Chains A and B, each alone.
Chain A
Amino acid sequence: MTDLPITSKSRPATAGDYVQLLKPRIMMLVVFTAFVGLVAAESVTGIQMHPVMAAIATLAVALGSGAAGAINMWYDADIDAEMKRTATRPIPSGAVPADEALSMGLILSGVSVLLMWLASNWLAAGLLAFSIVYYGVIYTMWLKRATPQNIVIGGGAGAFPPVIGWAAVTGNVPQDAWILFAIIFMWTPPHFWALSLLAHKEYARVGVPMLPVTHGARHTRRQVLFYTVLLLATSLLPLMTGLGGVIYSVAAILLGLAFLALSIQLLRTRAGEEEAPAAHNKFAAGVFAFSIFYLFALFAALLVEHLFGLSFPVRELL
């Protein structure tokens, strides 16, 4: 867990090391999707949150995401040290002591939930607390090293931010909020498994049962396609409830078809297999990169519609 090799070198920690503990790249996506949930809730319900309160609620989501990231890095320091992709993280590189990272995670968890409660309501604060526990405990400590379905079930943690953003505005979580949850939930497996095709050897070495390790690369590529089909279907649900309008529908269909085409192409490659051509593995890396663009663009379409009043429900045009 946190027993690091004695040989790990110590170096003075910089502010950047503490920022790294918060997993800033994940945080960006979390904050963005939470903000979209918040803006969509205001637009759909007509309830306006004070801009400063909305900013503090968004900050709370960012801090909560960072807290969960720090707890994850504390727990996973032993396997991070053994994997090339993660060996330079602040704890395995010796910059930040493990117990300091845990303290930071726990303190930030408390601060984020407190700020969310003060700036909005207990429901949003409760959901934020639950999402931190979901990622930091349920995914990191229970699922990650226990089952190849770790990413599928654990994906729920990353799907909470738009629900939290919605709850911060309205104090409840209606169907539309859960549709946003479902989109991120369905997006996580193809997103992460595309990456795990490239890192499966390292996961196997440290005993993490990622899908390519337990079921092989071909099965993983099939599952990527399966979840991409589910994602495409789920991404069309906002059109039925009126949450997504014309702009969103065009984005969802075009982006979804592009993701589907890439997943079909990925299935035809040998990415992740022994002695797979470099171009095939590079293609898997491309699918991973596209998946990030996909989620940003899909939520950006929703944001544009609700922020600038450009939401023209498709069902009214039919």
Chain B
Amino acid sequence: MAEPEKFEPRRLTEEELKARKRRNLWLALALGAFVVAVLAITMIKLSQGAAMPDGGF
């Protein structure tokens, strides 16, 4: 029986590697922005809740 061909992943070119790196950087920034937005919402809601007579409950 013939040996199955060994899978060789395609080597990315320099240009492709650079593009992938830039994409990943933007993705990281987007995730970071999302975390900051949720944090800001939480802080504002907590401070607004604390300012209410019943503590927001």
Binding site for B on A (CB under 8 A): 12-15, 18, 50, 52-53, 56, 59, 111, 115, 118-119
User: B17: nearest residue on chain A (CB-CB)?
Assistant: A12
Contact with A along B16-29 (1 / 0, CB 8 A): 10111011001000
Q: How many A-B residue pairs lie within 8 Å, measured between CB atoms?
A: 34
Which listed residue, B19, B34, B40, touches A12 by the CB 8 Å rule? B19
Complex alpha-carbon distance, A56 and B15, angstroms: 35
A-chain residues with CB within 8 Å of residue B26 when the two chains form the complex: 15, 18
Closest to A114 in B: B38
* Complex alpha-carbon distance, A12 and B40, angstroms: 35
Indicate if the CB atoms of A14 and B19 lie closer than 8 Å: yes
Contact A13 B23 (CB under 8 A): yes
Distance in Å from the Cβ of A101 to the closest Cβ of chain B? 13
With contact pairs A50-B48, A111-B34 given, residues A15 and B22 touching in the complex (Cβ less than 8 Å): yes
Dominant secondary structure of chain A at its interface with chain B:
helix
B residues in contact with A56, CB < 8 Å: 37, 40-41
In the bound complex, CA of A246 to CA of B15 (Å)? 57
Q: Chain A residues near B41: list those with CB within 8 A.
A: 52-53, 56, 115, 118-119
Known: A53-B41, A56-B41. 8 other contacts (CB 8 A): A12-B18, A52-B40, A56-B37, A59-B37, A115-B34, A118-B38, A118-B41, A119-B37
Cβ contact within 8 Å between A14 and B44: no
Give the CA-CA distance A211 to B19 in the complex, in Å: 41
A115 to B26, CA, bound (A): 19
Q: Say which residue of A12, A50, A119 sits within 8 Å of B15 (CB atoms).
A: A12
- Which interface class (under 10, 10 to 19, 20 to 34, 35 or more) fits B? 10 to 19
Q: Interface code B27-45, partner A: CB below 8 Å = 1, 0 otherwise?
A: 0000000100110110010
**Does A12 lie within 8 Å of B16, measured CB to CB?**
yes
Q: Which residue of B lies closest to A56 (CB)?
A: B37
Find the A residue at minimum CB distance from B12. A12
B18 smallest CB distance to A (angstroms): 8
> Which A residues are in CB contact (< 8 Å) with B48?
50
Once the chains are docked, how many angstroms separate the CA of A176 from the CA of B47?
32
A59 to B30, CA, bound (A): 12
The contact of B23 among A15, A50, A52, by CB within 8 Å, is A15
22 contacts between A and B (CB under 8 A): A12-B15, A12-B16, A12-B18, A12-B20, A13-B23, A14-B19, A14-B22, A15-B23, A15-B26, A18-B23, A50-B44, A50-B48, A52-B40, A52-B41, A52-B44, A56-B40, A56-B41, A111-B34, A115-B34, A115-B37, A115-B38, A118-B41
State in angstroms the CA–CA spacing of A50 and B42 once bound together.
13
| Nearest CB in chain B to that of A95: its residue | B19
Residues of B within 8 A of A59 (CB): 37
**Interchain CA distance A141-B23 in the complex, whole Å:** 29
B38 — which chain A residues lie within 8 A by C-beta?
A: 115, 118
Minimum distance in angstroms from B27 CB to a CB of chain A: 9
- Distance (whole angstroms) from the CB of B50 to the closest CB of chain A: 14
Distance between A75 CB and nearest chain B CB, rounded to angstroms: 23
| CB proximity of B54 to chain A, nearest CB, Å | 20
Closest to B29 in A: A15
**Contacting residues, chain B, for A52 (C-beta < 8 A):** 40-41, 44
- Which residue of chain B has the shortest Cβ distance to A108 in the bound complex? B30
5 closest A-B pairs by beta carbon, nearest first, are A12-B19, A118-B41, A12-B16, A15-B26, A56-B37
